[in-house]
Structures are given as structure tokens and as C-alpha cells.
Structure 1
Amino acid sequence: MKLNHVNLTVTDVIAARAFLEKYFGLRTVGERGDAFAALFDDDGLVLTLMKGKQVSYPKTFHIGFAQESEEKVNEINQRLKEDGFDVAPPQRAHGWTFYVEAPGGFRVEVLA
């Protein structure tokens, strides 16, 4: 059985949607202004974003995007840095990985 739907409450649907499209290739398939967006990945995942006034995820909460290689992780890390995101270099942990705070109030892990 595979997980195929996740809903995130975010403070800024438009910024979170643009971030997920630009860096992780998700496609928006539906939206309601700045209150809701539904995004798909290439493997059938449906990720919905719903606007909330206050977002408070647990400290360790995150979503992850696995990459096919360490080089791809490095590339995404560099693009995020160039675009002004505060990201540490990837490091060896449970793979080659780093985390970034996404617009809207949630954390993303990128790993290979």
C-alpha cells in the first residue's frame, strides 16, 4: 500500500505552491485563489495546500523529496542558496540530505 495523499496547512498557499512547483516539479491541477491548491507529482501523489492563519507543526515534522543522485541533491541545494534560501550544505546522515524551511510554514527534506 502506498501513501498517495497529504494535506498541509500553510500560511501562504501561493508561495508554497510556487516553491513546490519550482524546486520539486509538482504540477498544480486545481486551486481556489489564495485559500487552496492541489498539486500532483509524477507518481500519483496528491499534495493539497490549505490556508491557515497560524501554522504550528511539531519541530521534527517535514515532508521529503528523494532524488536519484547526490548530484541532484547538490543541485537543488545550490539553486535554493542562489535564490536566497538559508540552507546548510548537504551532509551524510541517513543518506545525502539537507532540510529547508519552505514558504508557508513547513520543512522539506531533500535526500538521495
Structure 2
Amino acid sequence: MKINHLNLTVTDVAASRAFLETYFGLECRAARGDNFAVLFDDDGFVLTLMKGREVQYPKTFHVGFPQQTEEQVDRINQRLLEDGYDVKPPQHAHGYTFYVEAPGGFTVEVLC
């Protein structure tokens, strides 16, 4: 059995969608204005975004985007940094990893 769908409630669907498309290659295949979007990755995983007024995920909640190499992790980190996101350099922890606060109120981990 494999999980193939996740719904995130976000404060800004358009900004969350643009972030996920720009940095992680997700593709929006359906949307209802600024209230709902359906994104797909290249493996068929479905990520839906629903607008909520107040979003408060637990402190440790995050969505992970694994990469194949440390160089890919570094490239994403550098691109986010250049685009003004508050990201720390990747570190070797449970993998080579860093976290970023995504627009819309959720955290993303990039790792290999």
C-alpha cells in the first residue's frame, strides 16, 4: 500500500501553489479560484491545497521533498536564498537537509 494523496490547509493557495510549482516541480491540474488547487508530482502523488483563515500545524509538522544528491539539495537551498527566503545552509543530520517556511503556513524539508 502506498499513500498517494495529502491535503494541506493553507492561508494563501496561490502563493503556496506558485512556491511548490517553482521549487519542486509540482503541476497544478485543477483549481477553483484562490480557494483550492490540485497539484501532481511526476510520480502521480496528489497534493491538494485548501484555503483556511488560520493555519496552525504542530511545530514538527512538515512536508518532505527528497532529492537524489547533496548537490540538488544545495541548488534548491541557494535558489530559495537568492529569492529571499530565510533558509539556513543544509546540514548532515538524519540526512543532508534543510527546512523552509513555505508561503501559506507550512514547513518544507528538502533532503537527501
State whether TM-score is above 0.5: yes
Alignment of structure 1 residues 1-112 onto 2, 5 Å: 1-112=1-112
Letter in structure 2 aligned against 1:105: G
* Deviation (angstroms), 1:98: 0.1
* Deviation (angstroms), 1:105: 0.0
Question: Could you list the runs of 4 or more consecutive aligned residues of structure 1 that deviate by over 6 angstroms after TM superposition?
Answer: none
**How many positions carry a matched residue from both structures?**
112
* Deviation (angstroms), 1:2: 1.0
Letter in structure 1 aligned against 2:104: G
- Name the TM-score, length of structure 1 as normaliser: 0.99
Identify unmatched segments of 5+ residues in structure 1: none
Identity of aligned residues (%): 73
- Name the TM-score, length of structure 2 as normaliser: 0.99
Q: Give per-residue Cα distances to partners, 1:47-78, cap 9 Å, x unaligned.
A: 00000000000000000000010000000000
Partner secondary structure for residue 110 of structure 1: strand
What is the alpha-carbon root mean square deviation over aligned residues? 0.3
Identify unmatched segments of 5+ residues in structure 2: none
CA distance in 2, matches of 1:20, 1:104: 11
